[in-house]
Amino acid sequence: MKTPRDLVSWVRGHPLVPGGRRARTAGMVLLALLAVGSGTAVTVDRIQALPAGAVFRVGDTTLTEQQLGDRVTLLKAMYFVRQPADPAGLDTFRRDSAKAVAVSQVLENVAKSRNIVIADKTANDELTAGLEKQFPQGRDAFMAKMAAVGVTERAIVDEIKRQLANNQLFDQVTKDVPAPTDQELAQAYEQHRAEMAVPEKRHLRNMVFRTEEQAKQARGQLDGGTDFAALAKQVSLDDTTRDKGGELGTVPREPLEPAYANAAFTAAPNSVFGPVRTPQGWNVGQVLEVTPAVPLALDQIKPQLQAWLFRERKVDAFNRWLAEQIRAAHVRYSDAYRPADPDAAPPGAPVGAPK
């Protein structure tokens, strides 16, 4: 089970009227994490029979280092996975990537054994739906961006087919899981009553810089009385907010980068904060207004709470089933790619679990 914080974050992010299946799968396809096998255990049979350049063997499939590299390139491009630069972090990343792709292969083999087949058209429709929501520049621009980093359209469609097959596996495995009772919902609510609230929101402005020194200079100007919106229009690198004076709108903490959220949600109203480093650059922000959190009664949050508990129950059932499949597959890794904890599960829900 997840922590109370995870529960509350999930409940807050889901509207009372749930989205349809297309919204769920399309969103999952473009936002899935690299840990394809999250919540599973992998039994490893270390042998010397793998050929040179091999990463692992699952059944009749042997994955080479080149193939793993291509898959990781695809996942980094589609899901914004970041590769560590330090040697120790890079070694862990390489081993975890091998484990993730191995579990993905196990799932693919099980899907085939159950005659789960995803048509190219279905995958293309899901890709188009996801891009309409998350990449307004359009499909051609997205494909050009992928091609620039060595990812083909065929590879993208195949990845989406794997994810959609996992959706069907999840639905098949968990179809008989019982829904939580009213008593269980009431108990969960009482356990986390203090956290059940519409989250605090803050009206923010922001500007982005290439270097910390540039951000510090802007902060100095703001501290000296320069108008934030006027300065943002002149110097911010963020072309999506620059012309609006750095306007981010009124937002909760959860969607923000952690470091930025910590700074923004500890700053006083009508104050400036930063510089704060995020993947986009060095940021200087301003808090214009604070909307306090509002407690929610059980009746107000019951549909989301029920959905969350039902999801967790299904994820637990699926993970137990998947662990059995992986043990039966006898995944074999080469020493250079053997995970440090092959029998431990990384945190999170498996691909195929409803978001």
Residue 148 confidence (pLDDT) above 60: yes
Cβ atoms of residues 236 and 208 within 8 Å: yes
| Selection from 325, 311, 318, 307 nearest residue 39 by Cα | 318
Model confidence at 80, in pLDDT bands (50, 70, 90)? confident
Cβ atoms of residues 231 and 222 within 8 Å: yes
pLDDT digit string, tens, across residues 183-203? 999 999 998 888 888 899 999
| Selection from 349, 29, 326 nearest residue 174 by Cα | 349
d(CA 333, CA 351) in angstroms, rounded, equals 22
Order across the sheet with 332-333: list the strands: 61-64, 54-58, 332-333
**Weakest-pLDDT range from 214-223, 305-314, 335-344:** 335-344
Residue 226 confidence (pLDDT) above 90: yes
d(CA 4, CA 288) in angstroms, rounded, equals 30
Q: So what's the pLDDT on residue 136? A: 85
- Region(s) of the chain under CATH 3.10.50.40: 200-292
Mean pLDDT confidence for 262-268: 96
Q: So what's the pLDDT on residue 342? A: 66
The CATH code of the domain at 200-292 is 3.10.50.40
**Weakest-pLDDT range from 17-21, 203-207, 257-261, 323-327:** 17-21
Give the chain's radius of gyration (CA, Å).
23
Residue 218 confidence (pLDDT) above 80: yes
d(CA 162, CA 288) in angstroms, rounded, equals 45
Give the Cβ contact number of residue 332 at 10 Å.
20
pLDDT digit string, tens, across residues 159-180? 999 999 999 999 999 999 999 9
| Selection from 68, 105, 72 nearest residue 337 by Cα | 68
| Selection from 102, 166, 54, 162 nearest residue 330 by Cα | 102
| Selection from 36, 39, 37, 29 nearest residue 6 by Cα | 39
DSSP 331: B
| Selection from 328, 330, 329, 322 nearest residue 348 by Cα | 322
Mean pLDDT confidence for 335-344: 77
Residue 89 confidence (pLDDT) above 80: yes
- Region(s) of the chain under CATH 1.10.4030.10: 4-180+298-337
Q: So what's the pLDDT on residue 244? A: 95
Residue 133: which residues within 8 A CB-CB, separation 6 or more? 26, 27
| Selection from 322, 349, 340 nearest residue 93 by Cα | 340
Q: So what's the pLDDT on residue 343? A: 57
| Range 86-95 contact pairs with CB under 8 angstroms and sequence separation of 24 or more | 92/340, 94/336, 94/337, 95/337, 95/338, 95/339, 95/340
Model confidence at 323, in pLDDT bands (50, 70, 90)? confident
CATH architecture of the domain with range 4-180+298-337: Orthogonal Bundle (1.10)
d(CA 32, CA 227) in angstroms, rounded, equals 40
Residue 314 confidence (pLDDT) above 90: yes
| Selection from 65, 39, 51 nearest residue 326 by Cα | 39
Mean pLDDT confidence for 259-263: 96
Give the Cβ contact number of residue 11 at 10 Å.
20
d(CA 231, CA 237) in angstroms, rounded, equals 11
